[in-house]
Amino acid sequence: MTIDVFAISDSKILVQGKEISLPHPVTEAKIYHDLIIVKVEPPPRTIFNRNIFGLSKNGEIRWQIQESPHGTQKDKPYIDVFISPSGALIAANWNGVSYSVDPDNGKITVDAFNK
């Protein structure tokens, strides 16, 4: 089954007719294989470093991304999530590290140091 329709409204996303509430406003959502990858944006002065979720085609939250182990700051949410030219799911952190994200469980491995 292909996911072809979802709708975003502030901190909620509608998938296959099911409304999923997330802890912060949704800023981005994209299809990756049989998942919807969702990035949320915490408000200023709120530490929420695991701000990317993987949702199933049925609207279930399958995983929440692993927190970045790099950097000395406590506040280090992901700033971008994209699909690389090789087809890997990549999450970029403001600290200059890009991570490959395992689509099965949200665990990360270093893909590149960009600074």
Does residue 55 form part of some domain? yes
Has residue 53 been placed in a domain? Answer: yes
Supply the range of the domain harboring residue 55. Answer: 6-113
In a domain, 41, yes or no: yes
pLDDT over 50 (residue 85): yes
The model's pTM is 0.90
**The pLDDT value given to residue 81:** 97
Query: Does 74 fall in a domain?
Result: yes
Q: Output the pLDDT for position 58.
A: 87
Mean pLDDT of 25-54: 94
pLDDT in tens, 49-70: 999 999 998 889 999 999 999 8
User: Is 1 among the domain residues?
Assistant: no
Residue 108, both tokens = 């990360």
**CATH number of the domain enclosing 98:** 2.40.10.480
Q: How many domains does the chain have?
A: 1
- Tell me which H or E stretch contains 19: strand 18-21
Q: What is the mean pLDDT of residues 86-109?
A: 95
DSSP string covering 43-108: PTT------EEEEETTS-EEEEPPPP--SS-S---EEEEEE-TTS-EEEEETTSEEEEE-TTT--E
pLDDT of residue 103: 97
> Do the domain assignments include residue 31?
yes
Please check the confidence at residue 16 and state whether its pLDDT lies above 70: yes
